[in-house]
Structure 1
Amino acid sequence: MDEQSSLFALFISSFLAATLLPGGSEAVLFGVLTGYPELYWSALSVASLGNTLGGMSSYAIGLFLPDEKTVLKNSGGSMRALQWVRTHGSLILLLAWVPIIGDLLCVAAGWLRVNWILAMLFMAAGKFARYWAIAAAITA
Protein backbone atom coordinates (compact mmCIF):
# COMPACT_ATOMS: atom_id res chain seq x y z
CA MET A 1 0.00 0.00 0.00
CA ASP A 2 1.41 3.41 -0.92
CA GLU A 3 1.58 6.45 1.37
CA GLN A 4 -1.62 8.07 0.14
CA SER A 5 -3.65 4.87 0.43
CA SER A 6 -2.24 4.27 3.91
CA LEU A 7 -3.33 7.71 5.07
CA PHE A 8 -6.78 7.22 3.51
CA ALA A 9 -7.17 3.87 5.30
CA LEU A 10 -6.09 5.56 8.54
CA PHE A 11 -8.68 8.31 8.04
CA ILE A 12 -11.48 5.81 7.40
CA SER A 13 -10.54 3.58 10.33
CA SER A 14 -10.19 6.52 12.73
CA PHE A 15 -13.53 7.94 11.59
CA LEU A 16 -15.35 4.64 12.07
CA ALA A 17 -13.63 4.04 15.42
CA ALA A 18 -15.18 7.26 16.75
CA THR A 19 -18.73 6.38 15.75
CA LEU A 20 -21.13 4.05 17.48
CA LEU A 21 -19.78 1.26 15.27
CA PRO A 22 -17.17 -1.03 16.82
CA GLY A 23 -13.61 -0.74 15.61
CA GLY A 24 -10.17 0.54 16.39
CA SER A 25 -7.67 2.58 14.45
CA GLU A 26 -4.58 1.90 16.53
CA ALA A 27 -3.49 -1.04 14.37
CA VAL A 28 -3.77 1.06 11.21
CA LEU A 29 -1.79 3.88 12.86
CA PHE A 30 0.85 1.32 13.84
CA GLY A 31 1.02 0.07 10.24
CA VAL A 32 1.34 3.56 8.79
CA LEU A 33 4.01 4.66 11.26
CA THR A 34 6.09 1.51 10.90
CA GLY A 35 5.78 1.48 7.11
CA TYR A 36 6.22 5.22 6.62
CA PRO A 37 7.89 6.82 9.66
CA GLU A 38 8.30 10.06 7.69
CA LEU A 39 4.49 10.44 7.80
CA TYR A 40 4.51 10.86 11.59
CA TRP A 41 2.80 14.27 11.72
CA SER A 42 0.63 13.59 8.69
CA ALA A 43 -0.59 10.36 10.25
CA LEU A 44 -1.32 12.09 13.57
CA SER A 45 -3.21 14.83 11.76
CA VAL A 46 -5.22 12.46 9.58
CA ALA A 47 -6.09 10.14 12.48
CA SER A 48 -7.10 13.06 14.69
CA LEU A 49 -9.21 14.64 11.95
CA GLY A 50 -10.97 11.37 11.11
CA ASN A 51 -11.61 10.57 14.75
CA THR A 52 -12.90 14.07 15.47
CA LEU A 53 -15.25 13.99 12.49
CA GLY A 54 -16.48 10.58 13.63
CA GLY A 55 -17.15 12.03 17.07
CA MET A 56 -18.99 14.93 15.51
CA SER A 57 -21.21 12.46 13.63
CA SER A 58 -22.18 11.04 17.03
CA TYR A 59 -22.79 14.62 18.19
CA ALA A 60 -25.11 15.06 15.19
CA ILE A 61 -27.00 11.90 16.14
CA GLY A 62 -27.63 13.49 19.54
CA LEU A 63 -29.27 16.45 17.83
CA PHE A 64 -31.99 14.14 16.48
CA LEU A 65 -32.90 12.54 19.80
CA PRO A 66 -36.12 13.64 21.53
CA ASP A 67 -35.82 16.82 23.52
CA GLU A 68 -34.74 16.77 27.16
CA LYS A 69 -38.17 17.52 28.61
CA THR A 70 -39.69 14.50 26.87
CA VAL A 71 -36.94 12.17 28.10
CA LEU A 72 -37.08 13.52 31.67
CA LYS A 73 -40.86 13.13 31.74
CA ASN A 74 -40.67 9.53 30.50
CA SER A 75 -37.84 8.62 32.90
CA GLY A 76 -39.48 10.04 36.02
CA GLY A 77 -36.99 12.92 36.18
CA SER A 78 -34.00 10.96 37.50
CA MET A 79 -31.01 11.33 35.18
CA ARG A 80 -27.87 12.15 37.18
CA ALA A 81 -25.57 11.69 34.19
CA LEU A 82 -27.24 14.65 32.50
CA GLN A 83 -26.36 16.90 35.39
CA TRP A 84 -22.73 15.77 35.23
CA VAL A 85 -22.47 16.53 31.51
CA ARG A 86 -24.24 19.83 32.07
CA THR A 87 -21.84 20.73 34.87
CA HIS A 88 -18.70 20.16 32.79
CA GLY A 89 -20.08 21.24 29.41
CA SER A 90 -17.90 20.95 26.33
CA LEU A 91 -14.77 20.47 28.45
CA ILE A 92 -15.89 16.90 29.15
CA LEU A 93 -15.29 16.11 25.50
CA LEU A 94 -11.56 16.00 26.21
CA LEU A 95 -12.53 12.45 27.22
CA ALA A 96 -14.28 11.66 23.93
CA TRP A 97 -11.44 9.27 23.07
CA VAL A 98 -12.26 6.93 25.98
CA PRO A 99 -13.71 3.66 24.68
CA ILE A 100 -17.48 3.24 25.08
CA ILE A 101 -18.15 6.34 27.21
CA GLY A 102 -16.55 8.65 24.66
CA ASP A 103 -19.24 7.84 22.10
CA LEU A 104 -21.93 8.44 24.69
CA LEU A 105 -20.38 11.77 25.68
CA CYS A 106 -20.45 12.90 22.05
CA VAL A 107 -24.10 11.90 21.64
CA ALA A 108 -24.99 13.55 24.96
CA ALA A 109 -23.24 16.76 23.92
CA GLY A 110 -25.35 16.91 20.78
CA TRP A 111 -28.50 16.07 22.70
CA LEU A 112 -27.83 18.84 25.21
CA ARG A 113 -26.99 21.23 22.37
CA VAL A 114 -23.50 21.97 23.69
CA ASN A 115 -21.81 24.62 21.53
CA TRP A 116 -20.64 22.60 18.52
CA ILE A 117 -17.48 24.63 17.93
CA LEU A 118 -16.26 24.21 21.51
CA ALA A 119 -17.35 20.57 21.44
CA MET A 120 -15.30 19.97 18.30
CA LEU A 121 -12.24 21.80 19.66
CA PHE A 122 -12.17 19.91 22.97
CA MET A 123 -12.93 16.65 21.20
CA ALA A 124 -10.06 17.25 18.74
CA ALA A 125 -7.63 18.17 21.53
CA GLY A 126 -8.37 15.00 23.49
CA LYS A 127 -8.23 12.77 20.45
CA PHE A 128 -4.99 14.33 19.20
CA ALA A 129 -3.37 13.86 22.63
CA ARG A 130 -4.36 10.20 22.61
CA TYR A 131 -2.99 9.57 19.11
CA TRP A 132 0.18 11.48 19.99
CA ALA A 133 0.73 9.24 23.04
CA ILE A 134 0.13 6.12 20.95
CA ALA A 135 2.44 7.33 18.18
CA ALA A 136 5.15 8.19 20.70
CA ALA A 137 4.93 4.68 22.13
CA ILE A 138 5.08 3.13 18.65
CA THR A 139 8.13 5.11 17.55
CA ALA A 140 10.00 4.91 20.86
Structure 2
Amino acid sequence: MEYFAQFGYFGLFVAAFLAATILPLGSELVLGALLLSSLSPVALVAVATVGNVLGSLTNYALGYWASKGVIQKCLKMSDEEFLRAEERFTKYGIASLLFAWVPVIGDPLTVMAGILRIHLRWFVLLVTVGKLLRYIAIAFMALQVG
Protein backbone atom coordinates (compact mmCIF):
# COMPACT_ATOMS: atom_id res chain seq x y z
CA MET A 1 0.00 0.00 0.00
CA GLU A 2 2.87 2.39 0.80
CA TYR A 3 4.31 1.90 -2.70
CA PHE A 4 0.91 2.65 -4.23
CA ALA A 5 0.65 5.84 -2.22
CA GLN A 6 4.11 7.05 -3.25
CA PHE A 7 3.50 6.20 -6.88
CA GLY A 8 0.04 7.76 -6.74
CA TYR A 9 1.26 11.06 -5.34
CA PHE A 10 4.21 11.17 -7.74
CA GLY A 11 2.02 10.28 -10.72
CA LEU A 12 -0.49 12.95 -9.77
CA PHE A 13 2.30 15.52 -9.39
CA VAL A 14 3.66 14.71 -12.86
CA ALA A 15 0.18 14.72 -14.43
CA ALA A 16 -0.68 18.06 -12.80
CA PHE A 17 2.65 19.59 -13.79
CA LEU A 18 2.36 18.52 -17.42
CA ALA A 19 -1.30 19.53 -17.58
CA ALA A 20 -0.32 23.12 -16.74
CA THR A 21 2.28 23.35 -19.50
CA ILE A 22 1.46 23.85 -23.16
CA LEU A 23 1.03 20.08 -23.54
CA PRO A 24 -2.59 19.02 -24.08
CA LEU A 25 -2.96 16.87 -20.97
CA GLY A 26 -5.29 16.79 -18.00
CA SER A 27 -4.91 15.81 -14.36
CA GLU A 28 -8.55 15.62 -13.31
CA LEU A 29 -9.00 11.91 -14.02
CA VAL A 30 -5.82 11.01 -12.14
CA LEU A 31 -6.96 13.06 -9.15
CA GLY A 32 -10.44 11.54 -9.30
CA ALA A 33 -9.12 7.99 -9.44
CA LEU A 34 -6.74 8.55 -6.55
CA LEU A 35 -9.47 10.19 -4.47
CA LEU A 36 -11.43 6.96 -4.71
CA SER A 37 -8.51 5.09 -3.15
CA SER A 38 -7.53 5.39 0.49
CA LEU A 39 -5.16 8.30 -0.06
CA SER A 40 -5.66 11.57 1.79
CA PRO A 41 -7.87 14.03 -0.13
CA VAL A 42 -6.04 16.98 1.45
CA ALA A 43 -2.63 15.61 0.43
CA LEU A 44 -3.88 14.83 -3.09
CA VAL A 45 -5.27 18.33 -3.56
CA ALA A 46 -2.02 19.81 -2.23
CA VAL A 47 0.16 17.69 -4.54
CA ALA A 48 -2.01 18.45 -7.58
CA THR A 49 -2.00 22.16 -6.80
CA VAL A 50 1.78 22.33 -6.32
CA GLY A 51 2.43 20.37 -9.52
CA ASN A 52 -0.01 22.49 -11.51
CA VAL A 53 1.39 25.78 -10.21
CA LEU A 54 4.94 24.67 -11.01
CA GLY A 55 3.79 23.82 -14.53
CA SER A 56 2.32 27.31 -14.85
CA LEU A 57 5.62 28.75 -13.61
CA THR A 58 7.27 26.90 -16.49
CA ASN A 59 4.95 28.74 -18.89
CA TYR A 60 5.73 32.02 -17.12
CA ALA A 61 9.46 31.37 -17.56
CA LEU A 62 8.92 30.58 -21.24
CA GLY A 63 7.17 33.91 -21.68
CA TYR A 64 9.74 35.75 -19.63
CA TRP A 65 12.84 34.39 -21.35
CA ALA A 66 11.83 33.26 -24.83
CA SER A 67 11.51 35.47 -27.87
CA LYS A 68 8.12 36.45 -29.24
CA GLY A 69 8.71 34.24 -32.29
CA VAL A 70 9.43 31.16 -30.19
CA ILE A 71 6.34 31.75 -28.08
CA GLN A 72 4.11 32.27 -31.11
CA LYS A 73 5.46 29.07 -32.65
CA CYS A 74 4.92 27.06 -29.44
CA LEU A 75 1.39 28.36 -28.99
CA LYS A 76 0.67 28.34 -32.75
CA MET A 77 -0.40 32.00 -32.71
CA SER A 78 -0.39 34.47 -35.57
CA ASP A 79 0.78 38.05 -35.03
CA GLU A 80 -2.87 39.14 -34.81
CA GLU A 81 -3.76 36.45 -32.28
CA PHE A 82 -0.72 37.34 -30.21
CA LEU A 83 -1.63 41.03 -30.18
CA ARG A 84 -5.25 40.24 -29.23
CA ALA A 85 -4.06 37.99 -26.40
CA GLU A 86 -1.80 40.71 -25.10
CA GLU A 87 -4.62 43.28 -25.31
CA ARG A 88 -7.05 40.96 -23.49
CA PHE A 89 -4.57 40.29 -20.72
CA THR A 90 -3.92 44.00 -20.33
CA LYS A 91 -7.66 44.75 -20.38
CA TYR A 92 -8.59 42.23 -17.66
CA GLY A 93 -5.39 42.65 -15.66
CA ILE A 94 -3.61 40.29 -13.35
CA ALA A 95 -6.86 39.10 -11.74
CA SER A 96 -7.35 37.04 -14.89
CA LEU A 97 -4.61 34.76 -13.54
CA LEU A 98 -7.24 33.33 -11.19
CA PHE A 99 -8.49 31.58 -14.33
CA ALA A 100 -5.15 30.04 -15.31
CA TRP A 101 -6.77 26.62 -14.74
CA VAL A 102 -9.31 27.07 -17.55
CA PRO A 103 -8.60 24.82 -20.54
CA VAL A 104 -7.42 26.53 -23.74
CA ILE A 105 -6.98 30.00 -22.20
CA GLY A 106 -5.01 29.13 -19.07
CA ASP A 107 -1.69 28.28 -20.70
CA PRO A 108 -1.56 31.40 -22.89
CA LEU A 109 -2.49 33.49 -19.83
CA THR A 110 0.49 32.23 -17.89
CA VAL A 111 2.84 32.68 -20.85
CA MET A 112 1.54 36.22 -21.39
CA ALA A 113 2.12 36.99 -17.71
CA GLY A 114 5.77 36.14 -18.26
CA ILE A 115 5.98 38.21 -21.42
CA LEU A 116 4.49 41.21 -19.63
CA ARG A 117 6.78 40.65 -16.64
CA ILE A 118 3.95 40.40 -14.11
CA HIS A 119 5.47 40.45 -10.63
CA LEU A 120 6.21 36.85 -9.65
CA ARG A 121 4.63 37.25 -6.19
CA TRP A 122 1.26 38.21 -7.71
CA PHE A 123 1.55 35.52 -10.35
CA VAL A 124 2.16 32.74 -7.81
CA LEU A 125 -0.54 33.99 -5.44
CA LEU A 126 -3.31 34.35 -8.04
CA VAL A 127 -2.48 31.19 -9.98
CA THR A 128 -2.26 29.16 -6.76
CA VAL A 129 -5.60 30.43 -5.44
CA GLY A 130 -7.37 29.67 -8.71
CA LYS A 131 -5.88 26.22 -9.12
CA LEU A 132 -6.37 25.29 -5.46
CA LEU A 133 -10.05 26.22 -5.58
CA ARG A 134 -10.46 24.21 -8.77
CA TYR A 135 -8.86 21.10 -7.27
CA ILE A 136 -10.95 21.46 -4.11
CA ALA A 137 -14.09 21.58 -6.27
CA ILE A 138 -12.98 18.53 -8.26
CA ALA A 139 -12.18 16.62 -5.07
CA PHE A 140 -15.51 17.52 -3.53
CA MET A 141 -17.42 16.36 -6.62
CA ALA A 142 -15.38 13.15 -6.96
CA LEU A 143 -15.93 12.25 -3.32
CA GLN A 144 -19.68 12.95 -3.59
CA VAL A 145 -20.00 10.69 -6.64
CA GLY A 146 -17.64 8.01 -5.31
Same fold (TM over 0.5): yes
* Residues 28-43 of structure 1: pairs in structure 2 closer than 5 A: 28-36=30-38, 38-43=39-44
Q: Give the AA of the match of 1:48.
A: T
Deviation at 1:65?
Answer: 3.2
> Which whole-Å CA distance do the structure 1 matches of 2:67 and 2:112 have between them?
12
Q: Give the AA of the match of 1:91.
A: A
Deviation at 1:27?
Answer: 1.1
Q: Give the AA of the match of 2:42.
A: W
> Which whole-Å CA distance do the structure 2 matches of 1:33 and 1:80 have between them?
39
User: What residue in structure 2 maps to residue 15 of structure 1?
Assistant: 17
> Which whole-Å CA distance do the structure 1 matches of 2:67 and 2:4 have between them?
45
> Which whole-Å CA distance do the structure 2 matches of 1:116 and 1:86 have between them?
16
Q: What's the CA shift string for 1:42-93, capped at 9, x where partnerless?
A: 00000000000001100000012337xxx9xxx59x9343233123332111
User: What residue in structure 2 maps to residue 56 of structure 1?
Assistant: 57
Moved over 4 A (4+): none
What runs of 5+ residues in structure 1 fail to find an aligned partner? none
Deviation at 1:5?
Answer: 1.3
> Which whole-Å CA distance do the structure 2 matches of 1:13 and 1:104 have between them?
19
Q: What secondary structure is seen at the aligned counterpart in 1 of 2:128?
A: helix
* Residues 1-140 of structure 1: pairs in structure 2 closer than 5 A: 2-36=4-38, 38-66=39-67, 79-140=83-144
Q: Give the AA of the match of 1:6.
A: G
Question: Is the deviation greater in 13-22 or in 83-92?
Answer: 83-92
Q: What secondary structure is seen at the aligned counterpart in 2 of 1:49?
A: helix
Q: What secondary structure is seen at the aligned counterpart in 1 of 2:36?
A: helix
TM-score normalised to structure 2 length: 0.83
What runs of 5+ residues in structure 2 fail to find an aligned partner? 73-78
